[in-house]
Structure 1
Amino acid sequence: MNIALLANPTAGKGRRAGLLPAVQERLRADGADVVMLGGGSAAEARERAHRAVADGCDALVAMGGDGTVHLGLQAVAGTGVPFGIVPAGTGNDFAVRLGLPASPVAAAGVAADALRDGRSRAVDLARVSGADGTAAWFGAVLAAGFDAFVNERANRMRWPKGAQRYNRAIVEELLALRPRRYRMSLDGAVTEFDSVLVAVGNTESYGGGFRIAPGADPSDGLLDVVVAEPLGRLTLMRLRPRVLKGTHVLDRRVSTHRARTVELAGAGITAYADGERICPLPVTITCVPGALTLLA
């Protein structure tokens, strides 16, 4: 067996980089040849992952956080090439919601054993098409409201570093908070509304355990859409802790929907999925049943 290993040693602030040799050893345990896919940038890593799949690797395994997994998904989605996930980031939302072990070495063992035994699980993915020509896949959640604005602002900042930059971006976006006008189509049924938060989930959570779309099931062929009415700063921040438990959807100001295809438009809004910048709205998001062949 030929396994291509896409690893990001800086994921999770590098806390699990020292486990890379043990992960490689576990993947090789049954005689597999493990090829490391390096890359000085996300673009290079993505290119090498695509090349490994095109060259006929037997499996692609991603070791890192949701961003590394997101890169791997772009290469394997819809191809039938088995995909393994070794969670080594901070949040690991996609891996958690798929029920994979939290231990990187244990997760590598799950992938290796599944490949040896010819065992896999079909998992839905979401495909995003942007009006600007962007095409991408995601496994967890697409954000197109407050949380997307926070990500966009944080990515523009040069100071401070780390988590403090994100916290500063939250404060600044709260000060700038205002409802945005959206146009949304759910399987052809069109509505227009003002909102401060719109999220589309293939699985439940993002941001390290925030269950924004509780009940989202990556095997039901549907996307879960969560929309919050225009909310004030204090109300939004009071609602935010409830997202950790998924109880925010019980609030009368939050509505939920399910659809196979979601079209979303809004001026000046950039979509983020799996924590990665995708493209400005408008976008079309489609659930593709079984697009991922997961080693599990």
Structure 2
Amino acid sequence: MNIALLANPTAGKGRRAGLLPAVVERLREGGAAVTVLPGTLDGARRAVDEARDAARRAVDEGCDALVAMGGDGTVHLGLQAVAGTGVPFGIVPAGTGNDFAVRLGLPASPVAAAGVAADALRDGGRRAIDLARAVGADGTAVWFGAVLAAGFDAFVNERANRMRWPRGAQRYNRAIVEELLTLRPRRYTMCLDGVKSEFDSVLVAVGNTESYGGGFRIAPGADPTDGLLDVVVAEPLGRLTLMRLRPRVLKGTHVHDRRVTVHRARTVELDSAGVTAYADGERISPLPVAITCVPGALTLLG
């Protein structure tokens, strides 16, 4: 058996890059050969494209499994290669948030997670996991495993990605403050399984699993095995109300607020002028976007 390992040494600020040899060794203990593919390095567009293409080539050339070592962004790249192929996928969480891995119940330790993947490949341990397929009006088509954001959090990501200073978490915090200063409701058109509605909102999220952003449980009831997506909509909120509600998202209790509504559907169409969707923390495309839950699209090791 041959495992293709997509490893990002800069994930989680590089804190776990030194564990790569131990992860490779643990994967080999299951009896497989391991080929290390190029990771996303500094996150530059060229490097990301190379990593994605390397993962797809490995799958096309017949690897027995693809394993992604990194954060949610690295996992997102791996999903583009294996979704719908039946090729088993393993996750070695080594990022900051690791939302998808956490919600799938995988070990937090990279070496332990590598052991789960290796043992599952050797022993035939597999789980069928739903993924979501998002298609933009510009032709962009991607798979995602966690959450698609199309409201306030998407605007924060978009602003943070344009910034060159400061770096790290402080850039994200600055983006939050600046977005709050310009916060305003936007008009959305949404179609759930063919049923259309229009509303004003400051926050719209579509969850295959329940969390994003390092543990914010935006869609606490989302189950990646039920064939449905959870759509969370918050009615127009002021700056202070939104910030007071935000800590409750960590516990998932915000959905009990009368100003928050949760829907479930297999297909979701979203449109709103000037909104760009982000999924698994990655930029997808401007709205409109059509999202479909594809049951069992991922074959997970462990």
8 Å CA contact 2:52, 2:80 repeated in 1: yes
Q: Does 1:12 align with 2:18?
A: no
| Aligned amino acid, residue 34 of structure 2 | V
1:1-296 aligned at under 5 Å gives the runs 1-39=1-39, 41-296=47-302
Q: Distance in 1 between matches of 2:148 and 2:181?
A: 23
| Aligned amino acid, residue 170 of structure 1 | I
The DSSP-based 3-state class of the residue aligned with 1:185 is: strand
Q: What are structure 1's unaligned runs of at least 5 residues?
A: none
Alpha-carbon shift at residue 30 of structure 1 (Å): 2.8
The DSSP-based 3-state class of the residue aligned with 2:175 is: helix
TM value normalised by structure 1: 0.99
Q: Distance in 1 between matches of 2:215 and 2:194?
A: 31
| Aligned amino acid, residue 155 of structure 1 | N
Alpha-carbon shift at residue 118 of structure 1 (Å): 1.3
Q: What are structure 2's unaligned runs of at least 5 residues?
A: 42-46
Q: Distance in 2 between matches of 1:53 and 1:161?
A: 35
Alpha-carbon shift at residue 218 of structure 1 (Å): 0.2
Q: Which runs of 4+ in 1 moved over 6 A?
A: none
CA RMSD of aligned residues (A): 0.6
1:54-113 Cα shifts (integer Å, max 9, x gaps): 000000000000000000000000000000000000000000000000000000000000
| Aligned amino acid, residue 122 of structure 1 | A
Q: Distance in 1 between matches of 2:216 and 2:30?
A: 37
| Aligned amino acid, residue 207 of structure 1 | G
Q: Distance in 1 between matches of 2:261 and 2:247?
A: 17
Q: Distance in 2 between matches of 1:207 and 1:119?
A: 29
The DSSP-based 3-state class of the residue aligned with 2:216 is: coil
Alpha-carbon shift at residue 215 of structure 1 (Å): 1.1
Question: What percentage of aligned pairs have identical amino acids?
Answer: 87
Alpha-carbon shift at residue 214 of structure 1 (Å): 0.6
Q: Distance in 2 between matches of 1:46 and 1:157?
A: 25
| Aligned amino acid, residue 294 of structure 1 | L
TM value normalised by structure 2: 0.97
| Aligned amino acid, residue 106 of structure 1 | A
Q: Distance in 2 between matches of 1:29 and 1:260?
A: 40
Q: Distance in 2 between matches of 1:79 and 1:3?
A: 15
Q: Distance in 2 between matches of 1:166 and 1:244?
A: 17
